[in-house]
A = this chain, B = another copy of it.
Amino acid sequence: MVARLQQHQKAHIAKNYLGHALRIAIIRRLMDPLFEIELELPAKGSRDAARSLFEQLKAAILDRRLTAGAKLPPTRKSADFFGVSRNTASEIYDRLLHEGYVVTRHGAGTYVAETLSPHAPSPATARDAEPPDPRLNPFWLRAEVSDALGFWRDHGATATLRTKTTAIDFRPALVDSRLFPFDVFRRVSAKQLRGLERKPARFKSPQGNQGNYHLRAAIGKHIALTRAVVCAPEDVLVTAGAQQAFDLIARVLVTPGETVVAIEDPGYPPMRVPFAAAGAKLVPVGIDEEGLIVDALPADVRVICVCPSHQFPLGVTMSARRRRALVEFARARGAVIVEDDYDGEFRFGTSALAALRTADAADVVFYVGTFSKCMLPSLRLGFIVAPPWALRTLIAAKNGLDWHCAVPVQLGVAAFIAEGHLTHHVRKMRAIYQRRRQLLLRALHEDFARWLEAIPSDYGMHIAASVRGSPDLDAIAERLRERQVKLHTFGRYFCGPATRHGLVFGCGAVDLPEMRRGLAVLREALSA
């Protein structure tokens, strides 16, 4: 802390002589663990600022974003950072102290408690310590559901000095929002909002509940271009992201306790939740180098969930032979296929294979697309291209659950596509992802051949690599986290114990210098 304090004094001097910009740069270097976690700072003059900040800090301590033993900054600095009075900051610290989340060491400041008091359940026991109220459906807090829904959470990050500015994030299916043309999206959205002014904004007709017509038409054109999926606006249902698409499909296809649903193993854990919630019997099915092993499908399967273009997480593209077998299997058994095509816009291989949902599979394939990867996840917009026989039921389900998606977002995305911005953005990102892939593949081949073998992959924003031998991958991932490198092992993608071992390298949220730094850290960890 001495060094820090000296630096802090320097920062003040710098401010006095050199002005605002430098002060910010130096303050960044001074960043404290407290200032590194994501906090929603209260609005100026907010009356519940103290309560809100207390709750957020408590949550951060409970889920270990603020680690045991971490030193909190003095109240003066916190008050400054939070934009509250010094009194309010002291009030927050006092309450944390009173409830046992922090301790003070005489004359040495405030630290996150090493052992939490009885008031504060430790994260390990929190789940069981508070038995859910018997009035509640226990499904949603089951360990496997919490784990699946925790997929996007930043598990087990124990570094005390993770700085957002330097964390290197190889997690798959993230996008680099720094590269999104917010200005363009803002402009087309504002134009569309202006248009709303001239129309009655009443509840929409059933057709409107299927999604805005222009958006559905734009989606049709976009996937015809990028995925060779031919469909009319009438075949498209707009959903709140792919997750709601899975939920709607589960709601219309699953009979509780009866319907057998095949899921890829390893696969995308959050997809399993809506099917399980609807009462499906989930059957994990393995993947080989040709994709989902069709021969391993249970005879009584009714719904087959698959990522044929870019398996999540292995990256395999399903072979043409396997695709034919899958569609034939589904037809013969009266089953349907749910095709999750989350990043199919980003094709790099020479393979001519497009989506599984070609015109002649339109009767058995529910094609699920999303704007989370090719635009932004925060838009929460996706869609289903459904077989004609299922569409009316799907629309009714969508209407019953939330009527339709927010019109301003639908209009903004429709205009963004129609005016050619999506094509432009995808083209730009494809070139960027291509360079990242190339760097990664070259490194895997040249520097990591002793330990890792890339799994061939033609698509998308991540590459998986099998590990040779049997190093302790969890220990390696832990070591990486300590060095602020986030990298998934295969483990979390399996339904049960992992039967294959490897690492998943997402290219979505790391630029080339970050990749190089991250790979250097990985090399050290593997060499150790």
Give me the interface of A with B, judged by CB distance under 8 Å. Answer: 38, 40, 42-43, 46, 48, 51-52, 55-56, 59, 132-133, 135-137, 140-141, 145-146, 149-150, 152-153, 174-175, 177-178, 180, 182-183, 185-186, 189-190, 193-194, 196-197, 199-207, 212-214, 217, 220, 232-234, 239-241, 243-244, 247, 251-256, 270, 273-274, 277, 279, 302, 334, 336, 376-381, 389-390, 392-393, 396-397, 399-409, 412, 418, 509
A273-B251 Cα distance, complex, nearest whole Å: 13
Tell me which residues across on chain B come within 8 A of A389, comparing CB atoms. Answer: 132-133, 136
Contact across chains for B241 and A141 when beta carbons are under 8 A apart: no
Contact across chains for A408 and B390 when beta carbons are under 8 A apart: no
Tell me which residues across on chain B come within 8 A of A180, comparing CB atoms. Answer: 201
Contact across chains for B38 and A205 when beta carbons are under 8 A apart: yes
A255-B140 Cα distance, complex, nearest whole Å: 13
A208 to chain B, nearest CB (A): 8
How many copies the complex holds: the figure is 2
Contact across chains for B396 and A149 when beta carbons are under 8 A apart: yes
Contact A244:B186 (CB < 8 A) given known A256-B256, A393-B132: no
Contact across chains for B185 and A200 when beta carbons are under 8 A apart: no
Contact A407:B380 (CB < 8 A) given known A182-B194, A194-B182: yes
A201-B55 Cα distance, complex, nearest whole Å: 23
| From A178, A393, A509, residue with most partner B Cβ within 10 Å | A393
**For residue A42, which residue of chain B has the nearest CB?**
B217
Sort A-B residue pairs by CB-CB distance and give the 6 closest, nearest first.
A40-B213, A378-B407, A177-B201, A240-B402, A140-B396, A244-B402
A178-B408 Cα distance, complex, nearest whole Å: 16
A501-B428 Cα distance, complex, nearest whole Å: 63
**For residue A177, which residue of chain B has the nearest CB?**
B201
| From A141, A232, A400, residue with most partner B Cβ within 10 Å | A400
7 contacts between A and B (CB under 8 A): A135-B334, A136-B252, A141-B396, A149-B399, A177-B201, A379-B406, A379-B408
